[in-house]
């Protein structure tokens, strides 16, 4: 059975086919994409995972144990505060790192679907040119969606959800079409107009799959601790009192889950972007392929 992605990468497709094609591209270029993610997203996600472990376990220790009431015992609040500060700082850094990684994958995507086989270093190098513009685009998107959510506060922030769908492709357009964030924002509105529910449904499926992938990667570490704890005489103590090496394992699983799922979301958005262009603009297979390859 032939792969329709290889035959006609710029043809209109169903929502399911677009997601399948994104997964297919990731599988064919797994080594390069995974190495790029490990070099960028993984280190920061690992720090967040380790800090979260300290924070949440310390938080539950304060609530459910009498540690803070024991004379001479160290104050767990200090460790919780430090862990929280690390989480906040690393989360801010992750926004910049993830923007760079997404820009790198989007810049490489036109070549990936037309047969190019770049090394992971080439993928990362390709993202440098549009990284700053992509960051500005994401900032503009954040401001717009936050304003829409605030304006629709009395209807549960529905305006923010609607705006987030319309601005979905702002970052993609900024990188792939090499345009400024304001023009990319307008372009995103034009692409989504008339296909709102299709895009919204696609986003739900995309984030659902991404969450499932993350859970599949991280769940062995969680189950490895949860199952023995349930059989212990004091399950809470068994969950909270774990060796340092196991906490490192949990941090590694969180970092791996975050890094290995990162390429999928960028590729999935790119494939829906291609689909909408094919439907709305009649994207010619040869001309548009050359156009996108030059822009990469």
Q: Both tokens of residue 21?
A: 């094609």
- pLDDT score at 114: 83
Supply the range of the domain harboring residue 134: 8-295
Rounded alpha-carbon distances, angstroms, from residue 41 to 45, 51, 144, 163, 205: 6, 16, 26, 27, 23
How far is the C-alpha of 16 from the C-alpha of 21, rounded, in Å?
9
**What is the reported pLDDT for 286?**
46
Q: What φ, ψ does residue 260 adopt, rounded to 5°? A: -75, -20
Query: What are residue 49's phi and psi, to 5 degrees?
Result: -60, -45
Separation between Cα atoms, residue 24 and residue 21, nearest integer Å: 5
Query: Do 42 and 126 meet the contact criterion of CB atoms below 8 Å apart?
Result: no
DSSP 157-191: THHHHHHHHHTTTHHHHHHHS---HHHHHHHHHHH
In-domain check, residue 144: yes
CA quadruple 145, 151, 155, 156: dihedral sign? positive
Is pTM beyond 0.85 here? no
Residue 1 lies in a domain: no
Residues of the chain with confidence (pLDDT) below 50:
1-5, 67-69, 71, 284-286
pLDDT at 223: 57
How far is it, in rounded angstroms, from Cα 83 to Cα 89?
10
2 domain-assigned: no
Contact status, residue 181 vs residue 133, Cβ threshold 8 Å: yes
Asked if residue 3 belongs to a domain, the reply is no
* Number of structural domains in the chain: 1
Q: What angle do CA 76, 79, 80 make, to 5 degrees?
A: 85
Report if residue 280 sits inside a domain: yes
Listing DSSP states for 7-54 in one string gives H-TTS---HHHHHHHHHHHHHHTHHHHHHHHHHHHHHHHHHHHHHHHH
Q: How distant, in Å, are the alpha carbons of 196, 204, 236 from that of 73?
A: 57, 47, 20
The CA distance from 119 to 80, in Å, is 41
Sign of CA dihedral 26, 252, 220, 240: negative
In tens, the pLDDT along 183-213 reads 999 999 999 999 999 999 999 999 999 999 8
């Amino acid at each position: 059975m032939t792969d329709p992605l290889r035959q006609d990468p710029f043809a209109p497709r169903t929502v399911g086919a677009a997601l399948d094609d994104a997964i297919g591209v990731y599988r064919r270029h797994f080594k390069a994409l995974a190495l790029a993610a490990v070099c960028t997203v993984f280190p920061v996600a690992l720090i967040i995972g380790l800090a979260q472990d300290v924070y949440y376990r310390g938080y539950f220790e304060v609530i459910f144990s009498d540690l803070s009431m024991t004379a001479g015992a160290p104050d767990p609040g200090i460790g919780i505060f430090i862990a929280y500060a690390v989480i906040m700082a690393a989360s801010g850094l992750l926004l910049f790192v993830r923007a760079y990684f997404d820009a790198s994958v989007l810049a490489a995507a036109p070549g990936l679907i037309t047969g190019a086989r770049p090394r992971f270093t080439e993928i990362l190098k390709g993202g440098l040119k549009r990284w700053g513009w992509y960051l500005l685009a994401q900032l503009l998107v954040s401001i717009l969606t936050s304003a829409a959510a605030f304006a629709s506060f009395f209807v549960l922030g529905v305006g923010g959800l609607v705006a987030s769908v319309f601005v979905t492709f702002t970052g993609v357009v900024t990188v792939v079409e090499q345009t400024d964030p304001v023009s990319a924002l307008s372009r995103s509105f034009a692409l989504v107009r008339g296909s709102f529910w299709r895009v919204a449904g696609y986003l739900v499926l995309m984030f659902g799959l991404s969450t499932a992938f993350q859970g599949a990667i991280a769940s062995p570490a969680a189950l490895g601790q949860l199952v023995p704890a349930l059989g212990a005489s004091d399950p809470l103590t068994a969950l909270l009192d774990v060796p340092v090496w196991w906490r490192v394992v949990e941090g590694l699983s969180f970092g791996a889950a975050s890094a290995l799922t990162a390429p999928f979301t960028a590729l999935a958005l790119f494939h829906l972007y291609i689909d909408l262009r094919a439907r709305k603009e009649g994207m010619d297979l040869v001309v548009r392929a050359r156009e996108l390859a030059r822009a990469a």
